[in-house]
Chains A and B, each alone.
Chain A
């Protein structure tokens, strides 16, 4: 039995309604956990005053410099004593999830048992960076909790100016759109940087994310310093039986308005079967006895829309790999940045391919560590120095796939032009 609950009239309102209630969960914990009782007390105070009451600090585990998010209460009485003393220390352990966030019930139960012994009993699946967040341990209990989580085969994630915890989509495990082995890439890359995860010493955070196709379910383009997004080079594959089944169910209006008209580059056309073009870069499939769709794969930008709508009838090609984009981030400090293309396509099939990806990550992080200003993300660094300088340092040749358009102003010194043209020609001849 825990101590008596504090009155929580505001939080009680969040027990009403049909969606699962975190307040109900906290109250259940509070039946036998004083920390949960006092957490509810402090949270209710925040709901009344509209203020937060946590401050950071320095708490860690032996051997690591990061991965714990320390929280000490600032809600104190006139003597400086915590008002809610059993939640006065409420630290979080960030723990890296398995790729695709797969679990069996055995491991989840073990995590729950560990957190019942050492913590508040509150776990978030998952935080915005992908961590399993074991929320609410006292300073004394952090080490014991980590030791058991670590023995279970899990490791702390990143915090502060470090390589951060990563996420990958369900991908090859269950998705037909998967263009590479996301889990393998995720593990190979991240496990190369365990030192940079556990011992924060970069200018600022660095995030990798892995999405298996351009639907980018991991939101990597917007929030990863290095986004690895699956794509393919050859033709969209077709399945006539499934195409006809789709058409029989959805009809001509939907095919024309929802698929043909929504193709961003108009690569997707509807034709009478007799008029369908043949050619190396053409995919086509009959949807009825009279009509077929025709896709000019040279014009296709692999946006995924037609494949999403006509799943099974259409699917990504076989020559798969990934596009790598660098520099995505949200507002602070210079404004939002999407990641931009630095490698239009790389194969990710063999171990050697994967090592190339790891090597690229390594070189980008090394350059970032050397050249970024304090608290500057990769996107801001590239904005400051220019993409070309970044590519030079990476030893990557410029490619028109990296730009939305060529330069729109004349403010550039071009006296090296002939030399550059000669280099390009020499490379073309050598190839």
Chain B
């Protein structure tokens, strides 16, 4: 029997970025002196030897069709110098070595629907996950939440009017691929998984599923004469950890998979050490196509922070100064018993002092 010859992969790993790099960046590699921002969306870097480069940053939809990619390439060829890079938040940057190219490049980007901004103390593009478009376990659609919110926050993307930079993220389940952020939007399931006992034995490696549960709520059981799994619903924290290894343990629910809002995460070491974000709201409906209720809470927190924080306070720094009682008061969010931590190490999150602001 004739066999098609399969091509062996070249295990080349990470490609060399120097082949794609703007020549001014390549020439001054490791030799930059400082930068400033002539306007929002533009970074101006100066090398020790005097070379200068302007980078114009624009927002994208991240999930890009090839026509959008070609359009961005056309703009890069006609108005920039043929080199681009992407930021971790899916913004695109065009580098030019001549200041006079900056204004026409910005005009062309804006004319084609790519907002210029996302630098300095702005609200940058939302880090996001795959959602219904491509994930196998999603509770919601990240791209839609992001599009809806960025439509409303686009002015904050274009300006640098925030006290400090604001990073947002969205995640379609509690695994939180979107990561730590100043404000994060994360699915929060509120009911234990619904188990299809007919499928468990064939689909799931049962001991692995039992081991996956953070609260030991899952145990093997015979159900209707078939080997399956059962969940102690009084223990279950509805995290959904059992669902990826065992799809018959459906955790997503159109009504009971809610959305929670978290605040105060940051990765940077600037000022305070990096911080994890804290849950401040939950029970919001998962309401496509525009997730209005989620947007309202995010905007309330964002604009309260904008109005109240001092210059250079990240959201976590702001809360550190005003305290959590005032955070909830100012944002008009209810502080419920579910926001008192009881996971391991949680005593560190209680107020073991008389430090109380009146």
Contacts and interface: CB of A to CB of B under 8 A. Distances in A.
Contacts of A54: 134-136
A126 B90 contact: yes
A172 B115 contact: no
Contacts of B271: 262, 264, 303, 305
Given A29-B65, A112-B66, A112-B69, A374 B25 contact: no
Nearest to B48: A176
Contact of B17 (A99, A166, A239): A99
B6 A52 contact: no
Interface stretch (A102-110, A270-278, A289-297): A102-110
Given A50-B257, A52-B136, A258-B311, A105 B274 contact: no
A315 B34 contact: yes
B68 interface: yes
Contacts of B87: 101
A233 B272 CA distance: 20
B129 interface: yes
B113 A219 contact: no
A12 to B, nearest CB: 8
A147 B30 CA distance: 34
A54 B72 CA distance: 30
Contact of B269 (A13, A63, A303): A303
A171 to B, nearest CB: 9
B179 A332 contact: no
A379 B232 CA distance: 28
B10 interface: yes
Given A22-B147, A311-B34, A116 B82 contact: no
B86 interface: yes
A214 interface: yes
A100 interface: yes
A181 B16 CA distance: 13
B138 A143 contact: no
B10 A150 contact: yes
A312 B33 contact: yes
B307 interface: no
Contacts of B231: none
B178 interface: yes
A155 B8 CA distance: 12
B138 to A, nearest CB: 4
Q: Among B36, B77, B269, B345, which residue has the most Cβ atoms of chain A within 10 A?
A: B269
A222 B14 contact: no
A176 B254 contact: no
Interface stretch (B189-197, B282-290, B326-334): B282-290
Contact of A153 (B15, B139, B239): B15
B122 interface: no
Contact of B150 (A19, A126, A242): A19
B139 to A, nearest CB: 8
Contacts of A103: 20, 83-86
A310 B84 CA distance: 27
Contact of A331 (B20, B144, B174): B174
Contacts of A100: 17, 21, 85
Interface stretch (B98-106, B206-214, B221-229, B297-305): B206-214
B14 A105 contact: no
Nearest to B82: A105
B270 A46 contact: no
Contacts of A334: 214, 344
Contacts of A26: 65
Interface string A150-182: 110111100000000011011011111010010
Contact of A219 (B16, B88, B136, B152): B88
Interface string A30-74: 000000100100010011011111111000011110000101000
A6 interface: no
Given A19-B59, A47-B132, A50-B286, A61 B9 contact: yes
Interface in B141-169: 141, 143-144, 147-148, 150-152, 154
B147 A21 contact: yes
A63 B9 contact: yes
A347 B148 CA distance: 45
Contacts of B85: 100-103, 170
B219 interface: no
A98 B15 contact: yes
A11 B17 CA distance: 37
B136 to A, nearest CB: 5
A269 interface: no
Interface in A80-101: 90, 92, 96-101
A20 B114 contact: yes
B88 to A, nearest CB: 6
B68 A20 contact: yes
Contact of A47 (B18, B77, B92, B141): B141
B322 to A, nearest CB: 16
B312 interface: yes
Contact of B90 (A125, A173, A221, A373): A125
Interface stretch (A186-194, A384-392, A414-422): A186-194
Interface string B52-65: 01010001111111
Contacts of B92: 125
A14 interface: yes
Contacts of A155: 9-15
Nearest to A56: B136
B127 A14 contact: no
Given A52-B135, A108-B84, A312-B36, A116 B66 contact: yes
A97 to B, nearest CB: 8
A232 interface: no
Contacts of A96: 13-15
18 contacts: A14-B144, A14-B148, A17-B147, A25-B63, A26-B65, A102-B21, A105-B77, A122-B64, A125-B92, A126-B86, A153-B15, A155-B10, A174-B53, A214-B270, A216-B274, A258-B312, A301-B269, A304-B270
Given A124-B62, A130-B88, A223-B180, 18 more contacts: A17-B151, A20-B113, A22-B64, A23-B147, A29-B65, A103-B83, A109-B70, A135-B63, A154-B15, A172-B32, A186-B14, A190-B13, A214-B270, A229-B269, A311-B36, A331-B176, A333-B212, A338-B274
Interface of B: 6-22, 25-26, 29-30, 32-36, 45-46, 53, 55, 59-70, 72-73, 76-77, 82-88, 90, 92, 95, 113-115, 127-141, 143-144, 147-148, 150-152, 154, 174-180, 208, 211-212, 214, 239, 241, 247, 252, 254, 257, 265, 267-272, 274, 276, 286, 288-290, 310-312, 343-345
